Homo-oligomer: A and B are copies of this chain.
Amino acid sequence: MKNRLVNIGIIGLGTVGSGVARVLLEQGELLKARTTLTFRLKTISELDWIKERNLDLTGVICTSKVEDVLEDPEINIVVETIGGYEPAFSFISRALRNRKHVVTANKALIATRGKELFRIAQENGVDLMFEASVGGGIPIIKSLREGLIANRIESMFGILNGTCNYILTKMHQEGLEFAEALKGAQEKGFAEANPTLDISGGDTAHKLTILASLASNSLVPFDKIYVEGITAISRQDIDFAKSFGFTIKLLAIYRAVKGGLDLRVHPTLVSNSHLLSAVSNELNAIFVQGDFVGSTMFYGPGAGERPTASAIVGDIVDLSRDLMLQEGEKYCNRSISLVEHSDLVPIGEVANRFYLRFLTVDRPGVLSLISGVLAEHGISIASMVQLETQEKDSCIPIVLLTHEASEKAMADALEKIMRFDFVKDDHIRLRIF
């Protein structure tokens, strides 16, 4: 690296790409003062040059040919911001093969095809960095892999999807139903036109895959994570949870337990005395417990042009530091482990406290029959609410909070309970943290 100059190429000038360009153009002096390095945004490849982005790209090579980035021997670091699987995968692997470091925010790609990409990076003596892929601007990846490196990570509980957290917060604070809150989130730009990946929990599971791989120092298979989204949550569940002192959050859960890793994504009742319950709107937070450090929490914006760019440029600076120290072929791998993790604990074997809501016909004996089935399966009830109704034989909700019980026992009990003719189809089972 001559003259302490780092040449950067960006692929894609959407929200994230524009943010990265903005940091490099606006914070050049700040970065130079802090690192003694000059970061030069050399080339941007993008297909749509018509769109107004409010960026002064004087001096930057603006091209529609991705080769101008991938094949330029002067470019040290490539930032991939186009997202999705293809052509992102091809572009990243080509950049790595050309011995360029790569920075990406592409969680879907890292979670599902990370193994291939990290292998290519290692084989070529370069690194693939992905701080922005989880928690947006929160330096959680760096904290896990560097700051907390002395720790066995015992557990993590993360609010990792801003869209879901925004929707749940609005349901909680404004008494909205799911569909209304989703509509509001879309209008305010906190949810996509097609929100499926977010509200299904899929995006959270991508992020959990990445965090879990770092925490366990192994490759965690994305498709073996148990995932439930938030679409089944109703306003009445939010209200019941509130009355018991809980807030419902979509949590990514990592627990190192006897027998392996317990990894799950599902809506969870979080006690209002826990800091995570206070993480509102589109914000993210990750609660991390290590065997030496104890309990820590990292909080901040999980998405957006500027926070994402902050994280990406953090990666760029780290890689540049390596470039400056490296001599010849020296290489100090920042990859995650490529050993696959084989011990995921099946969801059935996990124990949880549960929140159950049934809609039942209001007649004598209903509660006794339901609690009888739970007792048969060794599930004991911690608290219960049954609302009064004026009308005879009308339907009423019954809400039960259980003590800890196995998922298997609960699934079996639920199946039996749902067979009672007095129990209507509309029911829900949530976990309590």
Contact = CB atoms under 8 A, between A and B. Distances in A.
A314 B149 contact: yes
B146 A139 contact: yes
A271 to B, nearest CB: 12
A319 to B, nearest CB: 12
A275 interface: yes
Contacts of A150: 23, 27, 30-31, 309-310, 313-314, 317
A337 interface: yes
A149 to B, nearest CB: 5
Contact of A310 (B139, B290, B299, B311): B290
B300 A297 contact: yes
A292 interface: yes
Contacts of A330: 324-325, 327
Interface in A311-344: 311, 313-314, 317-318, 321-322, 324-328, 330, 332-333, 337
Which bucket holds chain A's interface residue count? 35 or more
A142 interface: yes
Interface centre among A143, A278, A292, A330 (most CB of B within 10 A): A292
A296 B299 CA distance: 5
A259 interface: no
Given A138-B296, A290-B310, A306-B292, A146 B325 contact: no
A49 interface: no
A298 interface: yes
Interface string A137-181: 111001101111111100000000000000000000000000000
Contacts of A292: 19, 23, 27, 137, 306-307, 309-310, 313
A231 interface: no
B139 A143 contact: yes
A81 to B, nearest CB: 15
Contacts of A297: 297-300
B293 A137 contact: yes
11 contacts: A27-B292, A33-B337, A139-B139, A143-B143, A293-B300, A293-B306, A294-B307, A296-B299, A297-B297, A299-B299, A326-B327
Given A278-B275, A292-B307, A294-B300, A149 B34 contact: yes
Contacts of A311: 147, 293
A203 interface: no
A324 B332 contact: yes
A317 B143 CA distance: 13
A198 interface: no
A6 B299 CA distance: 34
